Amino acid sequence: MAEVLNVEVRNTRGTRHAQRLRQEGGVPGVLYGHGTDPVSLKLSGEQVALMVRHGSRLVELNGAVSEKAFVSELQWDTFGLEVLHIDLVRVSEDETITLEVTIELRGEAPGVREGGVIDHVVHQVEIECPVGVIPEKLSLSIKDLHLDGSITADKLPLPPGASLLVEPELVIVTCHTVAEEEEVTAGEAAEPEVIGRKAAEEGESEE
């Protein structure tokens, strides 16, 4: 279901006006698409924060503009905590769009009990998807992932009518043993600390 965002038309422009809008709890945005002129909007900061928390990409605009839109871009502050600006694109229910979707791993891999570690290689994939079934994320089960095994992109569960825009053989996640070189490196990294402690202890005993 699309997230509802209440919007007002924004008649002022410029950095100073945008800062004032944010201080009042709003977020500036622009609505594009379908061959019409862009519309500058004022959105509720609370509603935008809720939309981000839910991972929604499809929104229902209500108020000065009443139509569905796709969140094409969010501009964040330096610390990635506050949305400074939002770009929206008009869409219709029967339209198909291209977007990147986050992959979430679900379940426990038996390969971990077999002595392996999970390596989540690819975290996002590009898909083509009807607007009405845009997923917040793709949940990939790893309950059948054994040691030295892998799961490729063609195993990702897609919404009806959606298709992958990456190679089906793209490896998403693997389960492998820790490389021997990594173990040696870890041991070497620990060695100077041991030597240092011994040297300090010897120095203290001499005093």
DSSP for 98-164, written as a single string: EEEEEEEEES--HHHHTT-EEEE---EEEEEEEGGG--S-EEEE-TT--TTEEEEGGGS---TT-EE
pTM exceeding the 0.85 threshold for the entire prediction: no
Q: What are phi and psi of 167, to 5 degrees?
A: -65, 135
pLDDT in tens, the chain (207 residues): 678 999 999 987 788 888 899 999 999 999 998 888 999 999 999 999 999 998 888 899 999 999 999 999 999 999 988 999 999 999 987 899 999 999 999 999 999 999 999 999 999 999 999 988 888 899 999 999 999 999 999 999 999 999 999 999 999 999 999 865 455 455 555 555 444 444 444 444 444
Whether 36 and 90 have beta carbons less than 8 Å apart is answered as: yes
pLDDT value for 187: 53
CATH number of 3-91, picked from 2.40.240.10, 2.60.120.280, 3.40.50.1970, 3.50.50.60: 2.40.240.10
Domain boundaries, the chain: 3-91, 98-176
**Topology of the domain comprising 98-176:** RNA Polymerase Alpha Subunit; Chain A, domain 2 (2.170.120)
With beta carbons less than 8 A apart as the criterion, state whether 52 and 5 touch. Answer: no
